[in-house]
Amino acid sequence: MRVLFIGGTGNISSACVERALTKGYDITILNRGNRPMEFSQPVKSIVGDRSDTAFMRQVAEEGRYDVVAEFVGFKPEQIEQDLAAFTGQVGQYIYISSASAYQKPPNHYVITESTPLYNPYWQYSRDKIACEDRLVRAYRETGFPITIVRPSYTYGPTWIPVGVGTHGYTIVGRVRRGQPIISQGDGSSLWVMTHHTDFALGFVGLFGNAQAIGEAFHITSDEALTWDQIYRTIARAAGRPDAEIIHISTDFIAGVYPEWGPGLYGDKACSVVFDNSKIKRVVPEFRATVSFAEGVARSIAWHDADPARQIIDEQNSAMQDRLIALFRQALRG
């Protein structure tokens, strides 16, 4: 099977490339070449500008790929360029959307693929919805062979996930320095963290799968944790018995830093649990087996293995300190 990854070196896509290599697929990666990545087996590389329609059409015609996996399509105009390039040239086009596209706030905390797509808070999510709408129209009108995949918060060795702040080593640095960390709301809302190797198992299982054409899937872990449980798990993996967690309402956070509001109101402030019955039915081998405790321990170990990876975003950390100070001041009246 000939597979083209548009992207291919990111947090999620790199794991999918590795999984596809274990299946013996012929893999080509197309990107700007700005982020080198070593894989366990050789892959072909095309360096170029995905916004150049003529270039993309040439790639499509020369490759005649069975599967194209689009990881870096964020705007409807990018989808138009892909349609112009790959119509009639590909067996299956898989678009990576986002689970944040689902209705916010949700009418029910259990999300299925039939949950409406509606997010009035976050432009990123609205753009993803618009991209999906265009692809569904292409499938209905011309039979363009789409599959839509919606990841939720998916992490790997280079990511240490958070709700408030910045993903990466910063939260570990704060915990290890005895600094408090912020949990939006009261910390009891449910969330799902998915290890990228688990996601890749379901994702690659959709390649060339006739049951996936014209369909949408989310692929997540079945382990639902509260945000406080997530932060305490990170603290233990970082070698600390616990973390000092400051609970701050989303309204207060967004009032101080409006730029943080959309990603909270439109995503992480809501309780979400995903029903993965559909992906399990279509890809029977899919099961998420990496617990968050195991996965985040791997991520912290990766950072600990090289001091150069232990980068604390001091500006973001200072913003958190300011937010905590303002919140405590407000409590004192």
- Walk along the chain (333 residues) in steps of 10 and give the mean pLDDT of each run: 95 96 97 81 92 92 96 96 96 98 94 98 98 98 98 96 93 97 95 98 98 98 97 97 96 98 96 97 98 98 97 96 97 88
- What integer pLDDT is reported at residue 55 of this predicted model? 93
CA distance 331 to 328: 5
DSSP annotation of 333 reads -
Is 86 part of a structural domain of the chain? yes
Same domain, residue pair 52 and 112: yes
**How many domains is the chain built from?**
2
Q: What is the pLDDT of residue 122?
A: 97
Shared-domain flag, residues 122 and 214: yes
Query: For the stretch 116-147, what's the b/e string if a residue is b when 16 or more beta carbons lie within 10 angstroms of its beta carbon?
Result: ebebebbebbbbbbbbbebbeebbeeeebbbb
- 309 within domain boundaries: yes
Domain enclosing residue 47, as ranges: 2-154+194-219
Residue whose token pair is 């958070």: 162
pLDDT confidence of residue 277:
98
Residue appearing with tokens 């678009």? 95
| Inter-residue contact 132 to 148 (CB < 8 Å) | yes
In the listed set 203, 219, 235, which residue is the last one of a domain according to the structure? 219
Question: How far, CA to CA in Å, does 267 sit from each of 1, 105, 118?
Answer: 36, 8, 11
- How much is the pLDDT for 142? 97
49 falls within a domain: yes
Domain-located, residue 92: yes
Would you state the pLDDT for residue 310?
Answer: 97
pTM of structure: 0.96
For residues 67 and 130, state if they share a domain. yes
SS3 sequence of 269-321? CCCCEECCHHHHHHCCCCCCCCCHHHHHHHHHHHHHCCHHHCCCCHHHHHHHH
Give domain status of residue 27, yes or no.
Answer: yes
Both 232 and 314 in a single domain?
yes
Is 144 found in the same domain as 128? yes
Looking at residue 205, its pLDDT comes to 98
Q: Tell me, yes or no, whether 132 and 183 share the same domain.
A: no
How far is CA 171 from each of CA 78, 144, 179, 205, 317, rounded to the nearest angstrom? 34, 43, 9, 34, 8
Domain CATH for 59: 3.40.50.720
Q: Which residues pair with 182 in a beta bridge?
A: 246
Assigned domain for 282 exists: no
Q: Same structural domain for residues 119 and 138?
A: yes
Is the domain of 114 the same as that of 168?
no
Of 149, 150, 152, 297, the residue nearest 222 (C-alpha): 152
Task: Report the residue count for the chain.
Answer: 333
Report if residue 61 sits inside a domain.
Answer: yes
Residue 100 is assigned to a structural domain of this protein: yes
Let me know whether 150 and 233 are in one domain. no
Is 187 found in the same domain as 200?
no
Same domain, 241 and 265: yes
Supply the pLDDT for residue 109.
Answer: 86
140 lies in the same domain as 7: yes
Q: Which amino acid is at 228?
A: D
At 189, list the tokens.
């809302």
Alpha-carbon distance of 213 to 200, in angstroms, equals: 18
Each as own residue / partner, the long-range contacts of residues 278-284 (CB below 8 Å, 24 or more positions apart, any chain) are 278/112, 278/113, 278/215, 278/217, 279/202, 279/205, 279/217, 279/218, 279/219, 282/205, 282/206, 282/209, 282/211, 282/212, 282/215, 282/217, 283/201, 283/202, 283/205, 283/206, 283/209
